Structure formats: C-alpha cells, structure tokens
Structure 1
Amino acid sequence: MLATPAIGQTPQRLIPDFGAFNPIADAFEEPDPLVRYRIIFDVSQAARAEGSVHQGLDRVARMVNLLNYYGVKLQPGDIVVTLHGAAAKTALTPAAYAKRFKNEATPNAALIQQLTEAGVSVRLCGQSMVANGFEKEELNSDIKVDVSAITTIGTLQMRGYALIQD
C-alpha cells in the first residue's frame, strides 16, 4: 500500500488554482497508483452561485489533484467531463458568457484551461448547445462538442469508464 507523501515531498497540484483538498492521515481507502482511473464526470446542474466557479468542475479538479497526490499517473483522456443541461453555459467564452448573461465573465475559463492542460477532456453536449442557441464560435477553445451527453456517457461506460454524477 502506498503511504501518503512525506512532509516536504508533497507533489505539486496538477490544477494549481482549483480543486483544493485536505490530506487524511491513515485513511481506510486511498487512491491506488496501480489502478488506471478512467472516469466520466456528468456535470448537468447549474452553478450554485452565479459568477462563481462551477462546483462540478472544481470537483473534477479535486479528483485530479487527489489522484496525483497519491501517485496515480493519469493519461490524457482518462478523465472526461460532459457538460449539459443547466451546466452547458459553462462552456462559453468569457465574452460570450458576459454578453448572453449580463454578467462580468465566467470564472470557469481558467479552470477549464487548467483541466485540459492536465489531460482532462472537457466536452459539451451538442444537443444542449443547440437547445441553448449557442454557436461553436462562442465556445471556449478547450471544449470539444459531442453529439450528446447521453451517447458519450453510454459509449465511455461500455469502454470501462466509471460515472460520477453531480
């Protein structure tokens, strides 16, 4: 069993500005660095507080940081986020978000960038994109558009991904 990193040897967080966590000494269950983690985060709820980082995306960052802390080496695409429903607007650029929702700017752009730099694949449900009237030009450049969240989730589950819902 892998021990928690020693003091002074704490790995750097892969998502430095988001996904904070507290190490738990002598935890019963810890992430296993010998397991390949392949996870879909189904993010469909609206942000709890308008103008704040979406809690579902921050949860993804926490998972990435926790796995890294415990020595799990993720490969690009091992973690997939599907944005749909009320969370679809999270995929907009700051300018498009501000124009459409009369808000300053979405704080999620920096988080999405850090997630993709860490190898997380962030996807938008194409059906939600169309239903909301979003144009591809309005989307954050780090976002990929899938046909639908339900087909992506189903396909990835059949390929062995675990599902975490918000």
Structure 2
Amino acid sequence: MRSKFTLLFSLTLFLVQLTSSFGQSIKSSTGPVFEDFGPVYSIDNEDFPLDATQQYKAIFDVERKQTDPSEQNTIISSLHRYYNMHVRSGIPKENIHLAFVLHGGSTKDALSSEAYKAKYKVDNPNKELIKTLSEMGVGIYICGQSMMSRGYSKEELMPEVKVGLSAMTVLTVYQMNNYALIKF
C-alpha cells in the first residue's frame, strides 16, 4: 500500500512539474516603438495577414474602475501594445493613427502630477504612459462631463490632455472619421 502511495505521489509531482513548465519559454517583449511599455508576443504564421499599405485608425474608449490609485491604467498601456505589435508585424508606424478618451473611473488618470498627488497622496502612475503616447501624436481626450462631475478643472490636467464635450461626442466624431472603436 505504501509503495502505491509513493508511486502515485511521485507521479503527481512529476505531472505538476511537467505541466507548470508549459508556456514558460514563451515570453513577451517590448519594442520596437516603445521600449519601456507595451509588451507583446510575436506571432509566427498568422492566419489573418496584415496589409502594410492600410491605414490603421482606432479610438480607444478608456473607462475602468481602479481601486488602487498607485496602479497604471492597463487600458492606456494597450495603445503602446497596439503600436509595438503592429510595427513588429510590418505595419509602418506612420500608418497607425490612434486616439483615446478617458471617462468615468479613468478620469483621474488625466490629472497633472501635482493635482494627482494632492488628491491621492501618490504620483500619477499614468504620467509617462500619456506623455509617450502624446509624443507619438496620439489624440488624448478627457470627457468634459466626467471631469466636471468629479470636480476637476482643466487647469489640473496634464498638458497633453484635451477636454471634449463628452466621451460620447469624442467617440462619435472619431468613428465618423473612420476610426474603429476599441472598448475593453
């Protein structure tokens, strides 16, 4: 009986170790556009080929409820991922046109370092995300309705962020200009 238990226990440990090693050799990496943000996986032999001559236009609807003000907004960093994965797959970065609008729970992510620290007692973890996207020419907007409902002023925002009438308006206008809506 004891030898059966030992054999079963040893086999179980072996299987756990074997299955836990699956996927460990597959690593994400950043670049080529953003080296500090936006880790992605390279995909070989894609079944959905990309057209390098196409213009890739997308507007991201960024709204999430963050409970920890010291954490980055992962939806904002998705724009870094978008650039990295598409350029890595052969799309010229000049053919990528992105924008995003912050609203609801993500409104605070647009606050300047000073305003964020005064309200949340920590540095704004999204500052570099927004700055690097702005440097790429990404359109960065905040819902004016969300801004006002939360008691923020335009003067408290990062200089890269523009105020729209509403998130609905920004999303509508971008879609009217052939930008695909991406909402997580």
The answer, yes or no, to whether TM exceeds 0.5 is: yes
2:74 and 2:67 mapped to 1: Cα distance? 7
Moved over 6 A (4+): none
1:90 and 1:77 mapped to 2: Cα distance? 24
**Which AA in structure 1 matches 2:150?**
N
**Which one has the largest radius of gyration?**
2
Q: Provide closer, same or farther for how the CA distance between residues 76 and 129 of structure 1 changes in structure 2, counting only shifts above 3 A.
A: farther
**Which AA in structure 1 matches 2:152?**
F
1:153 and 1:82 mapped to 2: Cα distance? 8
1:93 and 1:77 mapped to 2: Cα distance? 27
Note the alpha carbon deviations across 1:67-99, whole angstroms, 9 max, x for none.
221232344982010100100000001221111
1:130 paired with 2:130, answer no
- When you count helix as a share of all residues, which structure comes out higher? 2
Question: Structure 2 residue aligned with 1:64, among 74, 83, 91?
Answer: 83
1:157 paired with 2:175, answer yes
**Which AA in structure 1 matches 2:38?**
G
The structure showing larger relative contact order (alpha-carbon pairs under 8 Å, at least 6 residues apart) is: 1
CA contact (8 A) 1:76 1:120 kept: no
Q: Provide closer, same or farther for how the CA distance between residues 93 and 56 of structure 1 changes in structure 2, counting only shifts above 3 A.
A: same
Unaligned runs of 5+ in 2: 1-29
Aligned residues: 155
- RMSD, aligned α-carbons: 2.0
CA contact (8 A) 1:38 1:79 kept: yes
**Which AA in structure 2 matches 1:153?**
L
Matches within 5 A, 1:28-47: 28-47=47-66
CA contact (8 A) 1:116 1:142 kept: yes
CA contact (8 A) 2:72 2:125 kept: yes
Superposition deviation, residue 12 in structure 1: 4.8
Instruction: State the partner residue of 1:95.
Output: 114
Identity of aligned residues (%): 33
